[in-house]
Each structure stands twice: as C-alpha cells, then as structure tokens.
Amino acid sequence: MGRAHRAVDPSVHSGQAFSLSVCHALQEWFEADDLCRITFIYVLSALQWDIHGVAHKYITELKVRVEHRKTDNSIDALRSRAAHSVLDSWGSTFQYPTYRGSEFLELQQPDGRLLQPSYLNGGPWLSTFGHSVTEFTHVCRCITGHAPIGAYYRRFKINEPHGCTCRAALQSCQHILFCCRNRYSVHYPRFLRDIASFLKYNPTVFGFNWDPSGVR
C-alpha cells in the first residue's frame, strides 16, 4: 500500500521521477472519462478474499511500461549533481600536496590514472583494507607517512634516530618502499595491492615498538 501511494506522490522524494511519469499517465486516463477513478483498499493478500484475491493476483502479474522521464529538479537529480560536484572539487583539491599531505603516497588505479578519493563504498582505501582495523591502520601509516620512522621524527622534532637501519641518512616511506636493503623488495608499488604485498612480508615496518613500562 505504501508503494502504491508513493507511486502517485509527485512531491520531492527519491522516486519522484517515476512518480511524475505515473501521474502524467494517470492524468490522461482521468481526463478521458469522468467515471475514471482509483480507490485504494487495503486487504491482506494472504486472505485471498474473492475479488480482492483476484485483484491481487492480477496486479502482481501485470506488467505496465510507464515512460520514465528524467527531470532536472527531482531529488535524485539534485543529489546526483551535488555528488558529482563534490567529487570534482575533491579530486581537484586532492592534487595539491598541501591538501593531501606532503608525504602522501601516490598510487594508481588499474587504468593508469591516479587513485582519487570517493565516497562510494567508503572510498578506494577503506573498501580495500577496511575489513581489518589492524591492516587498515598499518596501510594508513604507510600511505600518509605518519609512522614511527626517521622522516616523521625529524619533521615533528621527536628525539628519536632519523637514519635507517640500513645506514641511510634518512628513513622515509619512499626509502623504505623503494631503496632500503633491509626490506622485502617489490616492484614500484603503483597499486594498493602492491602495498598490501609489501606489508605482508614486512609486518613490523611502520609499526610501533611498545615499551612494557608504558608511554615514555
């Protein structure tokens, strides 16, 4: 019953475009004869009462093609335009290191384009690693550079060594991923799965070594 009422409701809602098409079709039908009318009667279909049971069977088997007109002022159209506008703005702003972070690791999509932020399914990063809090935290440290490594210590003036265990002067994410001789070597990590492979073979990298006595 709720769907029937929604089908003839021309007000703003998620299925407004379809409802407007239904109303347009019904308007022509109503204008053809003053005796044309629609009455909503709610009866449980499971009861199968005579004419009501026949009507239920008829309406559930009926296939009516109603013209689906796209309207620029429906709630779906407005939401779609707003979403695309936000994504375009987000994608443009994301190109600037000052927005995404100077140490943010640039990765590619399978088609070669740079990985872009999106709200769909939580975005590319969350949809890939969101099933595991531990793994996602690990990946975040790797991609953003906010990890217990030399470059982070130097940037935030933390009294910890800046060099790498391989004796390189600065232990940065780029160094760990591409240059460090003490780490598992992979080809240039262009995709998220490359990062996953690297972290799989290096589970302690970008991680914290907790002091049993507590935070120092």
Q: The tokens of 121 are what?
A: 């399914």
Q: What is the pLDDT of residue 158?
A: 93
Kindly tell me if the per-residue pLDDT of 127 is higher than 80: yes
Full-prediction pTM beyond 0.85? no
Kindly tell me if the per-residue pLDDT of 150 is higher than 90: yes
Q: Domain coordinates of the chain in residue numbers?
A: 1-93, 96-201
String of DSSP letters for 173-215 = HHHHHHT-TTS---S---SHHHHHHHHHH-TTTT-----TT--
* Class of residue 116 by CB neighbours under 10 A (exposed 0-12, middle 13-18, buried 19+): middle
Q: The tokens of 96 are what?
A: 């600037």
Q: What is the pLDDT of residue 187?
A: 53
pLDDT band at 216 (very low <50, low <70, confident <90, very high): very low
Q: Cβ neighbours of residue 190 under 8 Å, at least 6 residues apart?
A: 107, 108
Ranges 50-59, 103-112, 161-170: which has the least confidence: 50-59
pLDDT band at 65 (very low <50, low <70, confident <90, very high): low
Kindly tell me if the per-residue pLDDT of 62 is higher than 70: no
Q: Do residues 176 and 183 touch, judged by C-beta distance below 8 A?
A: yes
Q: Do residues 43 and 57 touch, judged by C-beta distance below 8 A?
A: no
User: What separation in angstroms does the CA of 192 have from each of 102, 103, 120, 197, 210?
Assistant: 19, 16, 17, 9, 27
